[in-house]
Structure formats: C-alpha cells, structure tokens
C-alpha cells in the first residue's frame, strides 16, 4: 500500500466495489479497516468481504476528496450510502413577477449551469424536501405560498384570508420589504458566488519533488496538472460540469486550509499552452 494521499477501492470476489475511501496516507487508513478495534460493526462487515484492493495515488488531500466523490457516483459501491447521491436535484429558483416581487419556481434538474448560480435560492436532493422547507418558512416568516410556488389561485392566497400571510399577494406589502425578508430566509441556502474573476490553479504546498494542482472555474474542476522534476507538465482536461458535492468540498476546503494552498489566477489560454 502506498503511504501517500489518494483513494482506495475495496472489492469483493466478483470485482464489484464494496467501499471507496480516501486518506492522506492510504496504507495507514487501509490498515485501520483490518484492526481488531473497529469503531463500528459496519467496518467489520466490510473487512470480511474484501477480496481485492485497488489504490489511486493523488497529488494532494483535496484531489483525494474530489476523486472519492467522483468514483462513488460512478461505481455506486455498496457501503458508501452517504455519497451515492443521485444526479437529480431540485432547485428553488427566483423568478421576478410583473409587480416586482421575487417569486419562487421549484424545478427538477439533471445539472446546474454555473452561469445561473445567481438565480438559485436553494438546492435540495428531492422535491419533497424543497416543499417541506418552503412550507416551514411560509409559516415562520409570513411569506406568501402563492409567490413561493406552493399555491395556484386567482387573487390573494388562502393564508392571507387566515391572516397568516403578510399580504404581498393582495398589494398590502411592498416588493422591497417582502423581497428583503425572502432573501434573508434563503441567505444560508444559496450557492456562494465564485469568489474569483477567472479560473484559478489550486496547489497544496508540495511535500515532495512532484507537484500537483487542479484548475477550477465557477466551482467546476476543469483540469488537473501534475509535473515531475525536470519534466513537462501532464495536463488532463475535464468537462466543465457543476457538481453539488464538488462545490461543498471545494468551499469547505478553501475555508479551512486557505493558508496551506497556493491559488493563482490562470486563463484557459495559459492552460492550453502548457498542454501543447
């Protein structure tokens, strides 16, 4: 087992993936699965079924986190229930009304266009969870179920007749006041805007002779770059696609370890020149 950062894949006798994990030290992490002091019975179950172990060395902990997420979705291992997320997502998207209010449209999507992040109020794994959240904030903050996409009716909404809606649907509340309240409710649910004006190359402070980095744009990993001493860089391009788990990993990692990272603006032309 390599004593470097990367991903390991446990397989059963048929070659089917049982579990995919990541670590800054693959050997130590794999050994822990076989120790007698199991932290929970699930690990013991996994260890009894393993017939083969594959490993993939990455250049950094961040790359290991991203690769683990990607492989779990592709391979659907039996014991990675938390990361086996369906690609289907439900969005709460803001839609302006003719009167100037922010309406909400709930829609299922296969992917998120990074250029549309500004219009997205929230992202949910199912339509049921989206509606559950909407109904709760309607109740707690006096928002209008009609503007929230939960009710279709002519005239004021049903809750207004019960004095439980502040009256945006009846002209009793100004767009400015209503919109401010709605945006504050979704403040912690919204996707963060890309904090850079261009793609950036992210590299962890190297611990050895080999350097490795990733190129990210609008929270999408678009390329990986590795380079051995005195050799030309090896660049692998990826299709630019927004992935919710990748977004969460990048945002969390950048917030926690910004002081251990080298982040440099880069243009697509510069990357292409390196690959040429």
Domain boundary (36, 53, 75) is at 75
Total domains, the chain: 3
What's the chain's average pLDDT?
89
CB 242 within 8 A of CB 120: no
pLDDT at 209: 54
Same domain membership, residue 93 and residue 62 = no
Region 96-101: what's the mean pLDDT?
A: 95
User: Does 24 reside within a domain?
Assistant: yes
pLDDT digits (tens, 9 = 90+) for 184-201: 999 999 999 999 999 999
Domain boundary (156, 185, 214) is at 185
**Cross-strand partners of 217:** 220
Q: What one-character DSSP code corresponds to residue 205?
A: P
User: Does 21 reside within a domain?
Assistant: yes
Q: In the structure, what pLDDT confidence band is assigned to residue 64 with cuts at 50, 70 and 90?
A: very high
User: Does 190 reside within a domain?
Assistant: no
* Total length of the chain: 276
pLDDT at 71 over 90: yes
Region 174-185: what's the mean pLDDT?
A: 96
Percentage of the chain exceeding pLDDT 70: 91
Same domain membership, residue 181 and residue 223 = no
Token pair 């938390």: residue? 82
Q: Which of 183-192, 203-212, 227-236, 247-256 has the lowest mean pLDDT?
A: 203-212
Write down the pTM of the prediction: 0.84
Region 219-234: what's the mean pLDDT?
A: 85
Our CA angle for 22, 26, 32, nearest 5°, is 90
pLDDT at 85: 62
Same domain membership, residue 178 and residue 156 = yes
Any residues with CB less than 8 A from the CB of 45 and at least 6 apart, and which?
Answer: 79
User: Does 174 reside within a domain?
Assistant: yes
pLDDT digits (tens, 9 = 90+) for 105-141: 999 998 898 889 999 999 998 999 999 999 999 999 9
pLDDT at 267: 86
Q: For residue 139, what are the CA distances in angstroms to 88, 103, 142, 160?
A: 28, 17, 6, 12
CB 17 within 8 A of CB 11: yes
Same domain membership, residue 255 and residue 170 = no
Ordered alpha helix ranges (H), the chain: 26-33, 41-49, 61-75, 127-141, 158-161, 175-185, 244-257, 268-275
pLDDT digits (tens, 9 = 90+) for 5-54: 999 999 999 999 999 999 999 999 999 888 755 556 667 778 889 999 99
pLDDT at 172 over 80: yes
Same domain membership, residue 10 and residue 98 = no
pLDDT at 36: 59
Domain boundary (75, 104, 132) is at 75
pLDDT at 59 over 90: no
| Rounded Cα distance, 146 and 230, in Å | 64
Same domain membership, residue 101 and residue 172 = yes
Question: 255 is in which domain, residue-wise?
Answer: 200-275
């Amino acid at each position: 087992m390599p004593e470097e950062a990367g991903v390991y894949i446990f397989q059963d006798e048929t070659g089917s993936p049982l579990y995919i994990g990541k670590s800054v030290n693959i050997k130590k992490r794999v050994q822990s699965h076989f120790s007698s002091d199991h932290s929970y019975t699930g690990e013991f179950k996994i260890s009894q079924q393993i017939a083969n172990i594959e490993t993939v060395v990455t250049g950094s902990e961040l790359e290991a986190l991203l690769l683990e997420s990607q492989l779990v979705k592709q391979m659907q291992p039996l014991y990675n229930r938390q990361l086996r997320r369906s690609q289907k997502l439900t969005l709460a998207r803001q839609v302006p009304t003719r009167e100037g209010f922010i309406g909400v449209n709930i829609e299922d999507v296969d992917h998120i266009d990074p250029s549309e992040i500004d219009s997205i109020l929230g992202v949910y794994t199912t339509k049921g969870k989206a509606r559950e959240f909407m109904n709760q904030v309607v109740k707690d903050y006096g928002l209008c179920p009609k503007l929230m996409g939960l009710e279709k009716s002519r005239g004021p909404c049903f809750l207004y007749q019960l004095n439980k809606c502040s009256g945006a649907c009846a002209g009793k509340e100004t767009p400015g006041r209503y919109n401010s309240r709605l945006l504050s409710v979704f403040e912690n649910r919204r996707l963060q805007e890309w904090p850079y004006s261009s793609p950036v190359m992210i590299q962890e402070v190297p611990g050895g002779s080999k350097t490795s980095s990733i190129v990210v744009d609008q929270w999408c990993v678009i390329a990986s770059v590795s380079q051995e001493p005195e050799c030309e860089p090896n660049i692998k391009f990826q299709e630019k696609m927004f992935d919710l788990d990748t977004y969460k990993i990048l945002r969390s990692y950048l917030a926690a370890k910004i002081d251990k990272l080298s982040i440099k603006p880069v243009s697509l032309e510069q990357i292409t020149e390196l690959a040429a």
